[in-house]
A and B are shown apart, each in its own frame.
Chain A
Amino acid sequence: MTTLEIKNLQVSVETDDAAKEILRGVDLTIRSGETHAIMGPNGSGKSTLAYAIAGHPKYTVTGGEVLLDGENVLEMGVDERAQAGLFLAMQYPVEVPGVTVSNFLRTAKTAIDGEAPKLRTWVKDVKGAMEALKMDASFAERNVNEGFSGGEKKRHEILQLELLQPKIAILDETDSGLDVDALKIVSEGVNRVKENTGLGVMLITHYTRILRYIQPDFVHVFVNGRVAESGGSDLAERLEEEGYDRFLTAAV
């Protein structure tokens, strides 16, 4: 049982002239097995929340706490956060020229587990996970994200989720850019991991369509750098019908 606690988190980003405040006190607790959908307008700070938790150097935490089973995540390096069990599926996964997917996955797995995976089972695991995500075997020898289509990049993120087996995953718009088939395949991947490992999920999205495949236990409306309202899955339906107007006027 793992708990990720985000308490009154305040984050600013370095801009050319000054630091710009983006997160203004985020409170959120995610436990193993739970799925929290985060929905909110463009620019409300959803990716900032995801990056700040993962430790991206561009974002400065100016207040609040992030605890993973009581451990202070904010004191950990980016790699240590991943080793502690956090995973971020990025909205825009990064290309790494000259580094093959297979080398990358093996290096990451070794780093997370603290030892190299057993060769035979590892090769089988990678192959199996790739098949389940309908990724052609040739992706293993391609360079990380280089020349991948938008949808292929997202599948590759979920492939890592399956293989690295984190405790808590943040999925930042993993659904955007996916066609219906790919959305189903990716959602099934996430559900498989949830079932097998009891993964806790923070699922950032603009659309309810992914929530038909990945059932959220909680839905949070994210506006202007904080959680404006929380509810059950019915809240998502309401948001899709009504939009965010109600919250935006309230925020002014």
Chain B
Amino acid sequence: MSLLIDEKTHVDPAAQLGGDHRIPDQSRAARTRSFEVADFALPTGREEEWRFTPVDRLGNVLSDAPTDDREGDVAAGYDVQAPEGVTVGTLAPGQAPRGTVLVPEDRGAVVASANTEQALHLAITKEAELTQPVRVLVDGRGAGRRSNAHYVVEAGAFSKALVILDHTGAADHTGNLEVIVGDGAELTVVSLQRWDDEAVHLAQHEAQVGRDATYKHIVVSLGGGIVRMNSNVRYAGPGGDATLLGVYFADAGQHLEHRSFVDHNAPRCTSLVTYKGALQGDTARTVWVGDVLIRKEAEGIETYELNRNLVLTDGARADSVPNLEIETGDIAGAGHASSTGRFDDEQLFYLMSRGIDEADARRLVVRGFFADIIAKIGVPEVVDRLMAAIDAELELTALSEQHEEPASA
């Protein structure tokens, strides 16, 4: 990758070097986990885990408040499409498996947990191989309206399934997703953030990967004013494989923040974290924080995490912070890479010198930037949607540049 390191887009010099030079104050494992709202104060923005988030713009989303449903008018519409092989039910707080995997780790997750009386429970029958995806469509019905959600996805042993969580509209939404991947199961979870501009979305997606199970978690964040997602993984036994993928595209005014935590707490498991994002427009902002903890007992594991950001226009800023904690020397491999680069005008020149017009050349370069992660996603409908969205975003760049030109000429 011939991306240039761009000093201006970084606040954290350690992140700029792409190295893990920042020593976290405490181990990632020591973070507070609790079902009690009182255990999480409202963040001020000075806390380690909130330092990148514009807490003053979070509105109502952190208040310990019920979902703002009104007579005949819900805060967010839910549509669940479950094919054969899936049992749909609900779970009250404390009703297993709810709460066995996901324990809230921040204020957003704890208010979601406390204010969701009945969590959606999707149980995939063991050994079932679903031919259709399970879909949960969340449609926010109004900016600023509180919406709390908690979903529990339980993939039975040796089942194969694809679950697509799709967010549209606008709301102040806190959404928890609790995932239990049974032994030998193959589960892919896709979370699409296609919100309107005014939406605020906080999420904790917590997964436990069973013995020899395969878990793929794919985040696609395109819309929303503020999106802040924590995507975490732990293992229930050896041989588990987790892949966390993320693609994001931030425009002016958007804050898209993705955090992941892979807790290697079992031997001979693997994890791969790959997040790639593009930014355009003044004040477009993205954050990626990737934590990996390799515990003493995690012998023979292999992990790699990568984040790359492509800054298309001036005024956008990307932060990228990988953190790797290693407590055992007996591992097969561990690494990380992170970089933020400006759109490379030499690439543009090269393509245009072959007759390709600027819009097509930009599209080629940006699609090229995302090409490897898109190949990893492997879910055709998600890939198609993503490609179309990237093209639409680039039309926006082209339009705004056309507007700028006469002014600057």
Contact = CB atoms under 8 A, between A and B. Distances in A.
Interface of A: 54-57, 77-79, 81-83, 87-88, 90, 93-99, 103-104, 107-108, 111-112, 143-144, 146, 160, 164
Interface in B183-224: none
B2 to A, nearest CB: 5
B353 A54 contact: yes
Classify the interface of chain B: helix, strand, loop or mixed.
helix
A79 B364 CA distance: 15
Interface in B333-359: 344-347, 349-358
Contacts of B347: 94-96
Given A93-B350, A108-B356, A112-B354, A57 B364 contact: no
Nearest to B366: A98
B2 A111 contact: no
B367 interface: yes
Interface string B367-407: 11111100000000000000000000000000000000000
12 contacts: A54-B353, A79-B352, A90-B350, A94-B347, A97-B1, A98-B372, A99-B364, A99-B365, A99-B368, A107-B351, A111-B354, A111-B356
A57 B368 contact: no
Given A94-B347, A97-B1, A88 B367 contact: no
Nearest 3 CB-CB pairings of A with B: A98-B368, A98-B371, A82-B355
Interface of B: 1-2, 344-347, 349-358, 360-361, 364-365, 367-372
Contacts of A93: 350
Given A104-B364, A143-B368, A96 B351 contact: yes
By CB atoms of chain A within 10 A, which of B346, B354, B367 has the most? B354
A77 B359 CA distance: 13
B254 to A, nearest CB: 23
B355 A112 contact: yes
Contacts of B368: 96-99, 143
Nearest to B371: A98
B365 A111 contact: no
A77 B352 contact: yes
A83 B354 CA distance: 8
B356 A79 contact: yes
Contact of A107 (B1, B345, B364, B372): B364
Given A103-B364, A107-B364, 17 more contacts: A55-B353, A56-B349, A77-B357, A77-B358, A79-B353, A79-B358, A82-B353, A82-B355, A83-B355, A90-B350, A94-B344, A94-B350, A96-B368, A98-B370, A111-B355, A111-B357, A143-B368
Contact of B369 (A79, A82, A83, A97): A97
A87 B355 CA distance: 9
Contacts of A112: 354-355
A128 to B, nearest CB: 19
Given A57-B345, A57-B349, A104-B351, A98 B367 contact: yes
Nearest to A90: B350
Given A111-B355, A164-B354, A97 B349 contact: no
B285 to A, nearest CB: 24
Contact of A96 (B345, B353, B364, B370): B364
A147 B117 CA distance: 56
A108 B350 contact: no
A99 B354 CA distance: 14
Contacts of B2: 94-95, 97, 146
A143 B367 CA distance: 12
A90 B346 CA distance: 12
Contacts of A78: 349, 352-353
Nearest to A146: B2
A161 to B, nearest CB: 11
A88 B345 CA distance: 17
Contacts of A111: 354-357, 360
A82 B347 CA distance: 15
Contacts of A81: 353
Contacts of B346: 94
Contact of A79 (B344, B357, B370): B357
A22 B347 CA distance: 24
B356 A107 contact: yes
A34 B2 CA distance: 37
